[in-house]
Structure 1
Amino acid sequence: MISLLLAGFIGMFNETALNVALSDLIDLFHISASTAQWLTTGYLLALGILVPISGLLLQWFSTRQLFIASLIFSILGTLVAALAPGFEILMIARVIQAAGVALMLPLMFNTVLVIIPAEKRGGAYGLIGLVLVVAPAVGPTITGLLIEKLSWNWIFWLSLPILVISFLFGMRFMQNISTITKPKIDIFSLIFSTLGFGGIVFAFSSAGEGEGGWGTTKVVFSMVVGVLGLMIFIIRQLKMKQPMMELRAFRHPMFTIGTLMIFFTLILMLSAMLVLPIYLIRGLGLSAFTTGLVLLPGGILNAIMLPIMGRVFDKFGLKWVVPSGYVIITVTLWFLSGITIATPLALIIVLHSCLMIGISMVWMPSQANGLNQLPPELYPHGSAIMNTLQQLAGAIGTAVAVSIMTGGMNSFMKDVADKAAPGNGPLAWIAGIQDAFIFAIVVAIVGLFFAFFIKRVHVGKQQ
Structure 2
Amino acid sequence: MNNQSQTNPGIKRGPALTALLVAGFVGLFSETALNIALGDLSRLFHVDATTIQWLATGYFLTLGILVPVTGILMQKFTTRQMFFASLSLFLIGTVIAALSPVFGVLLVARIIQSMGLAIALPLTQNVIFTVFPPQQRGGAMGLMGLVMLAGPALGPTLAGLILDTLSWQWIFWLTLPFLLFSLVFGSIYLPNVNEVRNVSIDVLSVVLSTIGFGGIVYGFSVSGELGWTSTTVLTSLVLGALGLVAFGIRQTKMEQPTLNLQAFRYPMFVVGLIITSITFFNMLSLLVILPMYMQVSLLITAFATGLVLLPGSLLNCVLAPVIGRLFDKYGPKAVILPGTVCIAIAYACFTQLGVNTSLWMLVPVHIVMMLGIGMVIASVQTNTLNALPKRYYPDGIALTGTFQQVMGAVGIAVMVSVVSAKQNSYLATVANEPTQAFATGTTTALTVSFALALINVVLSFFVKKTN
TM score, norm. by length of structure 2 = 0.92
Cα displacement (A) at 1:35:
4.3
Question: Separation in 2 of the partners of 1:221 and 1:204?
Answer: 11
- Segments of structure 2 that go 5 or more residues without pairing to the other structure are 1-16
Does the 8 Å CA contact 1:20/1:278 hold for their aligned counterparts? no
Structure 1 residues 406 and 264: alpha-carbon distance in aligned structure 2, compared to 1, 3 A threshold: same
Question: Separation in 1 of the partners of 2:408 and 2:150?
Answer: 15
Does the 8 Å CA contact 1:26/1:36 hold for their aligned counterparts? yes
Cα displacement (A) at 1:148:
1.4
Give the match for residue 38 of structure 1.
54
Does the 8 Å CA contact 1:51/1:106 hold for their aligned counterparts? yes
Cα displacement (A) at 1:344:
0.6
The 5 Å alignment of 1:402-441 reads 402-415=416-429, 424-441=433-450
Structure 1 residues 30 and 411: alpha-carbon distance in aligned structure 2, compared to 1, 3 A threshold: farther
Cα displacement (A) at 1:67:
0.8
Answer yes or no: is 1:93 the counterpart of 2:102: no
Answer yes or no: is 1:51 the counterpart of 2:67: yes
Give the match for residue 249 of structure 1.
263
How far does the alpha carbon of each residue in 1:357-396 deviate from its partner, in whole angstroms, 9 at most, with x for none? 1101211111111111211111111111111111111111
Answer yes or no: is 1:66 the counterpart of 2:82: yes
The 5 Å alignment of 1:2-401 reads 2-29=18-45, 33-210=49-226, 213-401=227-415
Give the match for residue 442 of structure 1.
451
Task: Give, as a single letter, the amino acid of the residue that structure 1 aligns with 2:56.
Answer: T
SS across alignment from 1:285: coil
Structure 1 residues 205 and 441: alpha-carbon distance in aligned structure 2, compared to 1, 3 A threshold: same
Question: Separation in 2 of the partners of 1:292 and 1:154?
Answer: 18
Give the match for residue 10 of structure 2.
none
TM score, norm. by length of structure 1 = 0.93
Does the 8 Å CA contact 1:21/1:288 hold for their aligned counterparts? no
How far does the alpha carbon of each residue in 1:146-199 deviate from its partner, in whole angstroms, 9 at most, with x for none? 111113222111112211221122223321111110212211111111111111
Cα displacement (A) at 1:52:
0.4
Does the 8 Å CA contact 1:23/1:281 hold for their aligned counterparts? no
SS across alignment from 2:224: coil
How far does the alpha carbon of each residue in 1:296-343 deviate from its partner, in whole angstroms, 9 at most, with x for none? 001011112221111111000122432222222122112212211211
Cα displacement (A) at 1:286:
1.7
Decide which moves more: 239-248 or 405-414: 405-414
SS across alignment from 1:151: coil
Decide which moves more: 7-16 or 173-182: 173-182
Task: Give, as a single letter, the amino acid of the residue that structure 2 aligns with 1:237.
Answer: Q
Does the 8 Å CA contact 2:327/2:334 hold for their aligned counterparts? no
Cα displacement (A) at 1:434:
2.1
Decide which moves more: 438-447 or 228-237: 438-447
Structure 1 residues 254 and 91: alpha-carbon distance in aligned structure 2, compared to 1, 3 A threshold: same
Structure 1 residues 389 and 330: alpha-carbon distance in aligned structure 2, compared to 1, 3 A threshold: same
Does the 8 Å CA contact 1:34/1:402 hold for their aligned counterparts? no
Question: Separation in 1 of the partners of 2:416 and 2:59?
Answer: 15
Task: Give, as a single letter, the amino acid of the residue that structure 1 aligns with 2:246.
Answer: I
- Segments of structure 1 that go 5 or more residues without pairing to the other structure are none
